[in-house]
């Protein structure tokens, strides 16, 4: 099934140039957003990956500690 046209997503406008105005504004805005995403995405650096791994490890350690506390309290 093909994607809907931008004009299908724009509300009906009841003046002579309204359809052109809204569709082109929407198209321009979507193009701007798409360009921003494409230009700004870069793969994480080694430092960012290291921080993410450290935070994940800290969170997993905290979960294990919490589970142990809950088990010792008889709640599990």
31-65 residue pLDDT tens = 888 877 766 667 889 999 999 999 999 999 999 99
CA-to-CA separations, 57 to 46, 47, 48, 53, 54, in angstroms, rounded:
16, 15, 14, 6, 5
Q: Could you say which DSSP state residue 12 is in?
A: P
Question: Domain-by-domain residue ranges, the chain?
Answer: 1-41, 45-76
Q: What is the pTM of this model?
A: 0.44
CB neighbours of 52 closer than 8 A, spacing ≥ 6? 44
What per-residue confidence (pLDDT) applies to 74?
A: 82
Contact 52, 44 (CB under 8 A): yes
């Amino acid at each position: 099934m093909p994607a809907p046209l931008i004009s299908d997503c724009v509300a009906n406008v009841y003046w002579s140039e309204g359809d052109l105005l809204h569709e082109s504004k929407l198209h321009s805005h979507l193009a701007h957003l798409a360009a921003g995403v494409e230009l700004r995405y870069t793969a994480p650096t080694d430092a960012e990956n290291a921080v993410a791994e450290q935070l994940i490890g800290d969170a997993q350690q905290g979960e294990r500690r919490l589970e142990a506390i809950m088990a010792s309290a008889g709640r599990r």
